[in-house]
Amino acid sequence: MLKLWLCCALFTGAYAFNHGSDLDDFKEYMNEFEKNYANPTEQNAANYYFNYHTKLIAQQNALEDRKASTYRVKINKFSDIRLITFAARLPQAVYPAKSNDKKPIETENTIADEIDILAEYGINVTAQDQGTLCSGSWAYAAAKALQILNALPSDKEPMEYSAQHLIDCVGMSTSCTTQVPQQAFDYLTQVDDATLLTDIEYPTHENSVQGMCTPPALPSGGVKLATYSKIRDGDDESVKRFVSNSIPVIVEYNPATFGFMHYSSGVYVPPARARAASSQFLVVVGYGHDAATKLDYWLCLNSFGTQWGEDGFIKIVRSDKQPIAKGAIFPNTLG
C-alpha cells in the first residue's frame, strides 16, 4: 500500500517539478496570454506541457535552421495543453445529408501562376480569434469568405461580419462542436430576408461561446447570399481556378498535429498521419511558390487570432499527394 501511495505521489508531483528560468518563462507565458487556472493541479499540468512544448519547438526550429524542415513554430495560447486535448476541442465535422448548392459562376480559363486575393485588391482582413471553448471555425470561415467577396472588386474598406450571429442563430446545438459552413450558407440562401449581420450589430461573446439568438430589431448592415457552390473532395485544380478568379474558398483541414498547433511561419508540410481526426475550417485566399523552400503553397486564413501563424495566416504545401480540397465550399453570388 505504501509503495502504491509513493508511486501516485511521484506521478502527481511530476507536473509540479519546475524551477529557475523554466518557471520564469511559464510566468511570462501566463501573463502574455492572460492564463488563469482553476487550481494548482491544473496550473502544474499546464506548466508541464508548456515546458514539454518549449523543447519540441526548439527542436523543430533547429531543423528549419538546418534546412531540414520548411516551417517554424512558436509558443502560443495552445502550448499549455496536450495535442490530444487540442484535437478534442476541434471535433470532426458532420455534414448535412442535403445540399442547396448551385452551379458555380463562369470563370476565366486562364489561371494565374500565383495570387493573393487580399493583396491583389488591397483588402485589409484581420484574422479573428474563435477562442478556446467553441469550435466555431465554420462560422468564422463563412463570415470571412463573405466579407472578402463583398469587398470585391471595389476598394472600399470591407465590413467585418459576425461569426457570433451564425453561432447563436444558425448552428443550433452543434454550433461549438461539429457544425459546417454549409449550414451558414443554407440559412442565408434559404431563409427569406436572412442577412449576415456585422460585428457592430452582433458583437462577439467572450470565447465565442454560443448564446441566445438576439439579432437587433432593425438591422442596418449585413450581407445577403444568393447562391453558394461546392467542390468535390480532392479537386485542387478547381480550388485553384476559383481562387485565381478572386473567389475565397473554404476548406476543412485536420489540425491535429504539433506543427499546425504551433505553426509560426514558412510552408507547413503535414505528417503522413495526424494524431486524431479533427476539423478546422480555413479560407483559401491565394496560392504561390516559396523560393526559400522550393515548395508550392496555399495561402489560408485561420481563426486562431493574429498571434498564431503569420498574423493569423498559414501557408500549406500545395501537392497532389496532399490535396487541400475537402468539404470545399464558397459563396457564389451575393443577393
pLDDT of residue 216: 85
* 264, part of any domain: yes
- Between CA 191 and CA 295 the distance in angstroms is 43
Burial readout 288-297 (b: 16 or more C-beta within 10 A, e: otherwise): beeeebebeb
What is the domain-level CATH number for residue 136?
Answer: 3.90.70.10
Examine the domain organization and report whether 246 and 317 are in the same domain: yes
Same domain, 300 and 201: yes
Against a cut of 0.95, is the pTM above it?
no
Q: Which residues contact 289 (CB under 8 A, 6 or more apart)?
A: 113, 114, 295, 296, 297
Let me know if residue 74 belongs to a domain: no
User: Does residue 75 lie in a domain region?
Assistant: no
SS3 letters across the chain: CHHHHHHHHHHHHHCCCCCHHHHHHHHHHHHHCCCCCCCHHHHHHHHHHHHHHHHHHHHHHHHHHCCCCCEEECCCCCCCCCHHHHHHCCECCCCCCCCCCCCCCCCCCCCCCCEEHHHHHCCCCCCCECCCCCCCHHHHHHHHHHHHHHHCCCCCCCCCECHHHHHHHCCHHHCCCCCCHHHHHHHHHHCCCCCECECCCCCCCHHHCCCCCCCCCCCCCCECEEEEEECCCCCHHHHHHHHHCCCCEEEEECCCCHHHHCEEEEEECCCCCCCCCECEEEEEEEEEEECCCCEEEEEEECCECCCCCECCEEEEECECCECCCCCCEEEEEEC
Task: For strands 263-268 and 313-317, give the pairing.
Answer: parallel
| The last residue of a domain, from among 13, 41, 69 | 69
What is the pLDDT, as a whole number, of residue 103?
Answer: 95
The reply to whether 94 and 64 lie within a common domain is no
Instruction: Average the pLDDT over 257-271 and give the result.
Output: 97
Mark whether 62 and 166 lie in a shared domain.
Answer: no
Reply yes or no on whether the pLDDT at 2 is more than 60. no
Do 158 and 19 share a structural domain? no
Domain that holds residue 314: 87-334
pLDDT in tens, 277-304: 999 999 999 999 999 999 999 999 999 9
Residue 80 lies in a domain: no
Is 147 a member of any domain?
yes
Joined together, the cell numbers standing for residue 275 give 494524431
What's the domain count of the chain? 2
Domain boundary among 69, 96, 123: 69
Residues 10 and 99 in one domain: no
Q: Would you place residue 156 in the very low, low, confident or very high pLDDT band (cuts 50, 70, 90)?
A: low
pLDDT of residue 272: 87
- Is residue 284 domain-shared with residue 159, that is, in the same domain? yes
Within-domain flag for 326:
yes
Same domain, 203 and 297: yes
Same domain, 146 and 247: yes
- pLDDT tops 50 at residue 86: yes
Q: Is 49 among the domain residues?
A: yes
Sign of CA dihedral 202, 168, 176, 29: positive
Peptide bond into 323 cis (omega under 30): no
Q: Is the residue at 81 inside a domain?
A: no
Q: 270 is written with which cell numbers?
A: 503535414
Identify whether residues 51 and 104 lie together within a single domain: no
Last residue in a domain, options 14, 34, 69 = 69
Q: Are residues 37 and 114 in the same domain?
A: no
Q: Give residue-wise pLDDT tens across range 298-322.
A: 999 999 999 999 999 999 999 999 9
* In a shared domain, residues 163 and 281: yes
